Amino acid sequence: MDRKALYDISYGLYVITSIADGRMNGQIANTVFQVSSTPAKIAVSINKENLTHEYILKSGVLAVSTLGQETPLPFIGLFGFKSGREIDKLSQCAYVQGATGCPCVTDHALSYMEGKVVASADGGTHTVFIVELAAAAVLKKGTPLTYAYYQEVKNGKAPKTAPTYKEAA
């Protein structure tokens, strides 16, 4: 199998957040896509080791903020390379608490959406959560940050917990 075929799959970059027992957390994910239009549903693939996964399982709610192209690397480093088990990430950014109670991150975000998990699929290392949207808002116009731009222009990397992680050659 030529794994390089997988490199041709396109993605955006997002902050996924959740809340459980009054505690909030979030992480970066590239694996977000729209599943259906009416009702609007999206899918997100989250690593089972992540604190965000634990919170989503407990509460059954999550929010997604779509990052803009100008998002600085340190912001992606905070949400994508550090765990909420070590630091309080939400204390370091702006957010609004949405209808589900999830913190919808507004820093560097073009828009956000939130909803309830209505189904999930076991993907081995990851769970794919299917979420029916309860609310969504556009914050500003801009170009969404793609995973390709993050890698090729910003020279950004992904950790082992990302589904698209590449072993060093």
* Binding interface with ligand FMN (CB under 6 A): 13, 25, 27-31, 45-47, 50-52, 76, 80-84, 126, 150, 156, 158-159, 161-163
Token pair of 50 as six digits: 């992540």
Smaller CB distance to ligand FMN: residue 44 or 141?
A: 44
The answer to whether the beta carbons of residues 103 and 24 sit under 8 Å apart is: yes
Residue nearest to ligand FMN (CB): 80
Smaller CB distance to ligand FMN: residue 29 or 110?
A: 29
- Residue 31's Cβ-count burial label (10 Å; 0-12, 13-18, 19+) is buried
Q: Are strands 23-29 and 14-20 parallel, antiparallel or unpaired?
A: antiparallel
Give the number of other CB atoms < 10 A from CB of residue 82. Answer: 14
Smaller CB distance to ligand FMN: residue 6 or 39?
A: 6
Output the smallest distance, CB 52 to ligand FMN, in A.
Answer: 3
Output the smallest distance, CB 118 to ligand FMN, in A.
Answer: 19
